[in-house]
Amino acid sequence: MIIEDDAGIVMEVPDAGRQRGMDPPSGFSTAVELPADGGQRSGVSVSAVGDQFNQPLIAAVWDDPNGDGVRSDTRVFFTRWNGEKKEYEPVKTIEVVGEIDLSHPLRQVAIGRDPVTGRIGIAYVKAGAGIRYAFSDDEGANFSLATVGQDPGAGDSSFPQIVLRNGTTHVAYVTSTEQVLYRTRMGASGAFTEATAPITAGQASALGSISLALDADGNPGLAYFTKGASLRATLAFWRPGAASATEITSSNMTDVLTPVERRPSVTLVFVGTTPRVAFHLLRADPVLNGMMTDSNPELWTSVASSAAGTSWSMPVGAPRNGDFATMRFNTTQWYQGLVVHPNGSLTMGGAFLSRGTINTLCAGGPKLARSMDGMSFETCSPMNTPLNFAGDWLSMWGHAPNKVSAVFFYDRRASDLVRGGVILYREP
Write out pLDDT tens, residues 208-266: 899 999 999 999 999 999 998 777 889 999 999 999 999 999 987 777 777 777 789 99
User: pLDDT tens digits, residue range 131-169?
Assistant: 999 999 999 999 999 999 999 998 899 999 999 999 999
- The whole-angstrom separation of Cα 284 and Cα 292 is 12
Mean confidence (pLDDT) of the chain: 86
Strand order of the sheet with strand 316-318? Answer: 265-271, 274-280, 299-303, 316-318
Rounded Cα gap, residues 362 and 323, in angstroms: 10
Task: Give 57-71 pLDDT, tens digit per residue.
Answer: 999 999 999 888 899
Name which of 421, 354, 368 is nearest 393 in CA terms.
421
Return all residues near 70 (Cβ < 8 A) that are at least 6 apart.
64
pLDDT higher than 80, residue 51: yes
Domains and their CATH numbers in the chain: 3-426 (2.120.10.10)
Distance, CA of 87 to CA of 30 (rounded, Å): 10
Give the integer Cα–Cα distance in Å for 341 and 62. Answer: 33
Which 8-state DSSP code applies to residue 382? P
- How many CA within 13 A on the CB side of residue 385? 22
d(CA 224, CA 207): 7
DSSP structure string for 229-256:
TT--EEEEEE-TT-SS-EEEEE-S-S-S
pLDDT in tens, 256-312: 777 777 789 999 999 999 999 999 988 776 555 554 454 567 889 999 999 999 999
More confident residue, 427 or 362: 427
Peptide bond into 105 cis (omega under 30): yes
Distance CA 118, CA 15 (A): 6
Quote the CA–CA distance of 13 and 198 in Å, as a whole number.
39
As to burial, measured by CB atoms within 10 angstroms (0-12 exposed, 13-18 middle, 19+ buried), residue 376 is exposed
pLDDT digits (tens, 9 = 90+) for 349-383: 875 544 333 445 676 667 888 999 999 888 887 77
Q: Three-class SS of residue 258? A: coil
Return contacts of 248-253, CB within 8 angstroms, 24+ apart.
248/223, 248/277, 248/302, 248/312, 248/315, 249/281, 249/283, 249/300, 249/302, 249/312, 249/315, 250/283, 251/281, 251/282, 251/283, 251/284, 252/283, 252/284, 253/282, 253/283, 253/284, 253/285
**Mean pLDDT for the stretch of residues 58-85:** 94
Tell me whether strands 205-214 and 220-227 are parallel, antiparallel or unpaired: antiparallel
Alpha carbons 337 and 59: distance in angstroms, whole number: 17
Does residue 180 sit in helix, strand or coil?
Answer: strand
Q: Which residues contact 280 (CB under 8 A, 6 or more apart)?
A: 264, 265, 266, 298, 299, 300, 332, 333, 334, 335, 336, 350
41-50 and 193-196 beta bridge pairing: unpaired
pLDDT average, residue stretch 342-353: 78
* Number of residues that make up the chain: 428
Buried b (16+ CB within 10 A) or exposed e, 265-287: bbbbbbeebbbbbbbbbbbeebe
The pLDDT > 90 percentage for the chain reads 60
Q: Judge whether residue 396 has pLDDT over 50.
A: yes
Smallest CA-to-CA distance from 419 within 427, 405, 409 is with 409
